[in-house]
Chains A and B, each alone.
Chain A
Amino acid sequence: MLATRVFSLVGKRAISTSVCVRAHESVVKSEDFSLPAYMDRRDHPLPEVAHVKHLSASQKALKEKEKASWSSLSMDEKVESLCFLLHKCGFGEKWLNVAEEGAADLCACKWLSSLPPVYRIKFKESFAEMNRGSNEWKTVVGGAMFFIGFTALVIMWQKHYVYGPLPQSFDKEWVAKQTKRMLDMKVNPIQGLASKWDYEKNEWKK
């Protein structure tokens, strides 16, 4: 509850136990999972079922027109016709062989914002839409930084109210005498502490 409040929009969607909400509306509501289902997935480009199961009147008319010979379609209607678009994008074998000048760039992927109704019958989202990024990372990073900050507060409280004093060997004078003693003993003279001290000039090496 608190998490959903804290993260409001994303929290409700991420933590919800409802299949429908979690699956970002790309899965049909609580169906038998053994039946073919529609899904928008990058690695599953042609789902088993169409997005829209029950066509409206205008959609039915469009489908009828698509069944006729494609050469009778205008350029615009070709853009609208999904079969034609799919062929041009290389899902070729199943579809009729149509080759036309200027139709090469009629790839569905290019017509992002103005995808035709026929496309929307078959698919819910285009590849660009399904692959879009989100702002979730800001919530995650912000949440992580918040909890790190909270941990810092906990540690400050501990230092003040729980821990005892440091041993006297942490005093500056003690550490100075200790370091001098370690240098006199030539502790780690090859690559360690004493190797960094200039014994002639009596100072740290530059």
Chain B
Amino acid sequence: MAHAAQVGLQDATSPIMEELITFHDHALMIIFLICFLVLYALFLTLTTKLTNTNISDAQEMETVWTILPAIILVLIALPSLRILYMTDEVNDPSLTIKSIGHQWYWTYEYTDYGGLIFNSYMLPPLFLEPGDLRLLDVDNRVVLPIEAPIRMMITSQDVLHSWTVPTLGLKTDAIPGRLNQTTFTATRPGVYYGQCSEICGANHSFMPIVLELIPLKIFEMGPVFTL
């Protein structure tokens, strides 16, 4: 989860997110360099004593400042596409969970080895204990094993929602009448938070997602499947 006033990305909990953080650093550095260059040029334009206005027919300069941005764009596109294809790699998920968005809660279905279906509502402020995370904690978390590829099938029962867990690099729209798939592998145990990311009505800000990642051995013992 983010701490208050956090601006940067959260630490990665999956290999894809680690790649995304590196890519973000790369793209942001290019952005900063270009912005700095433009600001410098603007500053020079505003503070010069020169008055020559004959600034047409500079063919060499125009060629350079067309080719150079094209090269920069390629340098951004190549890592981006690499990560894009990495997310689609075939990895044979061990577990499939269905996540259904409603107004304004999530339903999770574990139907691979049994029939576990439950709702996940945000804890109302009056139900919070001191130390709980307001607007983030839920009554029933999604319990999953670490270090195993997991497939999430995401859909909605009414309007558009979006199932998000930033630390895993996940954001998938929940669209009524459509099944969207996303996969991930978590590398660290812990509790990870996300919030609905598609406007869906009055309580759009109040339907968070909470994953509880536990070691595989403990997951196999079956605490999840006891209702």
Q: How far is the CA of A11 from the CA of B98 in the complex (A)?
A: 66
Q: How far is the CA of A170 from the CA of B59 in the complex (A)?
A: 61
In the complex, how many angstroms separate the beta carbon of A110 from the nearest chain B beta carbon? 18
| Known contacts A42-B51, A187-B1, A192-B3; A181/B131 CB under 8 A | yes
In the bound complex, do residue B3 and residue A174 qualify as a contact, i.e. CB atoms below 8 Å apart? no
Is B14 at the interface (CB under 8 A from chain A)? no
Residues of chain B within 8 A (CB-CB) of A180 are 131
In the bound complex, do residue B190 and residue A185 qualify as a contact, i.e. CB atoms below 8 Å apart? yes
Number of A-B contacts (CB under 8 A): 49
Residues of chain B within 8 A (CB-CB) of A191 are 11
Q: How far is the CA of A195 from the CA of B188 in the complex (A)?
A: 14
In the bound complex, do residue B11 and residue A192 qualify as a contact, i.e. CB atoms below 8 Å apart? yes
* Nearest-CB residue, chain A, relative to B131: A177
Is A188 at the interface (CB under 8 A from chain B)? yes
Is B199 at the interface (CB under 8 A from chain A)? no
**Range class of the A interface residue count:** 20 to 34
Give per-residue flags for B128-156: 1 if the beta carbon is below 8 A from chain A beta carbons, else 0: 10111110000000000000000000000
Is B226 at the interface (CB under 8 A from chain A)? no
Is A8 at the interface (CB under 8 A from chain B)? no
* Nearest-CB residue, chain B, relative to A178: B131
A contact residues vs B (CB 8 Å cutoff): 42-43, 167-169, 173-174, 177-178, 180-182, 185-193, 195
B contact residues vs A (CB 8 Å cutoff): 1, 3, 6, 10-12, 49, 51, 53, 125, 128, 130-134, 167, 188, 190-191
Can you list 29 A-B pairs, Cβ within 8 angstroms, ordered by A? A42-B49, A42-B51, A43-B53, A167-B125, A167-B134, A168-B125, A168-B128, A169-B125, A169-B134, A173-B130, A177-B130, A177-B131, A178-B131, A178-B132, A181-B131, A182-B3, A185-B190, A185-B191, A186-B190, A187-B1, A187-B190, A188-B11, A188-B167, A189-B11, A189-B188, A190-B11, A190-B12, A192-B10, A195-B11
